[in-house]
Chains A and B, each alone.
Chain A
Amino acid sequence: MGTFIQQLINGLTVGGIFALIALGYTMVYGVMRLINFAHGDLCILGAFIGLTTLTSAAGGGHPGAGLLLLAFVVSVIVIAVAGVALERIAYRPLRKADRLAAVVSALGASMMIENGIMLVWGPQVHVFPSNLLPATTWHLAGATISFVQVMIILASLVLMIALYLFVNHTRFGTAIRAAAIDQDAARLMGINVNRVIASVFIIGPALGAIGGLFIGIYYREAYFTMGWTYGLYAFIAAILGGIGNIPGAMLGGVLLGLFNAFAAGYVSSSWQDAITFGLLIVILLVRPTGLLGERVAEKV
């Protein structure tokens, strides 16, 4: 029982992170029908920016919890700006072009950010300062849960609920949904589609930066190739939940984290990815648009 609960906690923690990153994929896809392959790298760039803020603000001393908040703020702002810049430079000129051109541009941007991180910060593993957060752990039914895990699970949940309310219960959220259904019709209705697109390139990367910083704080290390790994997992989470669907990305992320934990824990860690992605194939065979996906007719 203790082992089961422990795996549940393990799965929920990484699942929350996957979900935060998956939201960026799904929102951009929803509005632009584009897979932003540079998203994972933006998230990890967020982790690096956060780390640099922490260490430079601490000025050689030991960074405390107040600085951690500052790191989150700086990282979110920088990555949101980077997200908008990415859209302006790499995607807007190609909006009328063949869809493949934008995908290639996205892959190029991904490599550029990844190698940019390497050139600025170097190829070695960067380590986050220890004791940023209380080392408190709680024990329940033979399982342990740490302060960081509670924080990640709760913060992911709060952010996801906030995003859901924003998209479904505000005027701007309605504009986003309208642009996602039909950009031309939305424009005719007086919606500034460019602003909508810019907004998803702010919200997605901002959530991703928080996810990236969570990775850094949870595992206490960051290196430049991490963006690809996490980007791939989050992309799959978005597909699993139904790409373009916001609650779908949340569900997909959490499920992927849980699949991963239970496959490693109860079957074999060497088969972990094979089982996870095998399940993904089965789900997509049964529901080709993902668990909460839109109906295909609407997409075309």
Chain B
Amino acid sequence: MKKHQECSKIVLAVCATLGMALAPSAYAASGPIKIGVQAPITGTYADEGQGIERAVKLLAAMQNAKGGLLGRKIEIKVCDDQGQAAQAAICARQLVNDHVVAVIGSYTSGAALAAEPIYARANVIQTSDGTSNELLKRGYKTWFGNAAPNSAEAKFTAHYLVDVRHFKKIAVLTDHSSFATGLAGAVVRDIKADHGNVVDKSFINAGSQNFSPVLTKLKSMHPDVLYFSGYYSDGGLIRAQMVQLGMKAAFVGGDANQNVAFAKIAGSAAAGSIIVNVPAPADLPYPVAKQFVATYKAKYGALPPSVFTLTNADGMRAVMQAIAATKSVKPAKLEAYLHSMKSFQGLTGTFAWSAKGERTGSPFVAFAVQKDGSYKIRYPAPKND
């Protein structure tokens, strides 16, 4: 008898769960607005995953303290995908069943990719720092990438060299690594697209230290800037040898040159070198970002683990802005709003989304190395809004 009773209890419970699941509570005009976080809370990327969870929860708490959105509280549902595709699909189904309006995450492209079609079919907005081209291929209108695509560094660099600094003769130098040659190739292509003039593209052997021969050759071409796409240990030495050879050209380095050792190796030649990179959370120049990072640090006692914490926070902020502006939680309205935004002031710079959901508007900045080895942002000029 006892057993039978238990069985019916289970049936009841299942029915109740199903009933709840079937009711469209997310779009209901009452109860909290649910937003999901799909991130690697454990595993290799736990640090990053926990950063995303903390940032999103902090934003929700800040909004709730101001009365929430549309008079409703925001509730965060977190699912740990461990950075793995299989777990990501399970998380996606679970969050869809939880009736979230939007999902922030995941951190890895692979986990975001596995979850992407599930959110698309359920019409749930997904915003992630994933930058794999695969994420754009299927053209889901629910996809909003919040990190700059891989091509953004080259585009920004070309724009900076040609349109901002107006260099007339650009020399490009790279090592043989796939990272540096890929970046150098993209920079050359984008400089040409911007009608810039590349006078030479040369290679160095990373770690060989003896760069004077190739620099002597470049010097005879009288470039006004040398762009180097390789790593800091070579970059610092290249800068030092340029000055030693009496080269007048400016030095602009790719993101792999940002390391404290660059200025040490280049010594007195370091000052004035430019390095292009996404600023670390603590270096973001935008007032909104400074404020958020300070709040984050005050609450959690640590800085956000990386800039991707903040790009995901930007995804969350954009979704909240969309809900407030459209006074709705209907996916179609939110998607249309997000796609139509001309420029969104994010923590990581101003951006918008293309029709494919790709982030346009780069988080990159050009740093100038100072005499004491610290960095100062040269472009875009820090705003005081």
Binding site for B on A (CB under 8 A): 2-3, 6-7, 10-11, 13-14, 124-125, 127, 130-131, 135, 137, 139, 144, 146, 215, 219-221, 223, 225-226, 229, 260-266, 268-270, 272-273
Contacts and interface: CB of A to CB of B under 8 A. Distances in A.
A264 B219 contact: no
A165 B204 CA distance: 39
Contact of B210 (A6, A146, A260): A260
Contacts of B265: 125, 127, 220-221
A16 B214 CA distance: 19
Interface stretch (B20-28, B68-76, B237-245): B237-245
Contact of B205 (A219, A262, A273): A273
Nearest to A261: B213
13 contacts: A6-B245, A10-B212, A127-B261, A127-B264, A130-B267, A137-B244, A144-B245, A220-B240, A221-B233, A223-B207, A226-B209, A270-B176, A272-B214
A131 B219 CA distance: 24
Contacts of A131: 267-268
B217 interface: yes
A3 B214 contact: no
B300 interface: no
B179 interface: no
A10 B216 contact: yes
Given A125-B265, A220-B267, A229 B212 contact: no
A263 B208 CA distance: 15
Which of B210, B236, B264, B268 has the most C-beta atoms of chain A within 10 angstroms of its own C-beta?
Answer: B210
A269 B207 CA distance: 14
Contacts of B212: 6, 10, 13, 261
Nearest to B245: A144
Given A229-B208, A272-B205, 13 more contacts: A2-B220, A3-B219, A6-B212, A10-B210, A125-B233, A146-B244, A220-B237, A226-B207, A264-B213, A269-B204, A269-B217, A270-B176, A270-B203
B244 A144 contact: yes
B301 interface: no
Contacts of B210: 10, 14, 260-261
B244 A265 contact: no
A7 B265 CA distance: 23
Contacts of B204: 269
Contacts of A11: 213
Contacts of A263: 213
B213 A260 contact: yes
Contacts of A269: 202-205, 213-214, 217
Interface residues of B, number: 28
Contacts of A137: 244, 246
A125 B202 CA distance: 24
Contacts of B205: 269, 272-273
A92 B224 CA distance: 58
Contacts of A13: 212
A272 B204 CA distance: 9
Contacts of B203: 268-270
A226 B214 CA distance: 20
Given A229-B207, A272-B205, A221 B237 contact: yes
Given A125-B233, A137-B246, A269-B202, A221 B219 contact: no
A223 B233 contact: yes
Given A127-B264, A130-B267, A146-B244, A265 B233 contact: no
B384 to A, nearest CB: 36
Contacts of B237: 219-221
Interface in B179-232: 202-205, 207-210, 212-214, 216-217, 219-220
A183 to B, nearest CB: 38
Contacts of A221: 209, 233, 236-237, 265
Contacts of B261: 124-125, 127
A265 B267 contact: no
A262 B214 CA distance: 9
Nearest to A13: B212
Given A6-B216, A144-B245, A219 B264 contact: no
B233 A264 contact: no
B213 A272 contact: yes
B220 A3 contact: yes
Nearest to B237: A219
A212 B220 CA distance: 31
A219 B209 contact: yes
Contact of B216 (A7, A229, A268): A7
A264 B237 CA distance: 17
A20 to B, nearest CB: 15
B207 A144 contact: no
A273 B207 CA distance: 13
B217 A215 contact: no
A124 B204 CA distance: 20
A268 B267 CA distance: 28
A265 B209 contact: no
A53 B346 CA distance: 50
Contacts of B245: 6, 144
A63 B11 CA distance: 82
A146 B246 CA distance: 10
Contacts of A272: 205, 213-214
A104 to B, nearest CB: 26
A215 B209 contact: yes
Contacts of A6: 212, 216, 219, 245
Interface string B234-259: 00110010001110000000000000
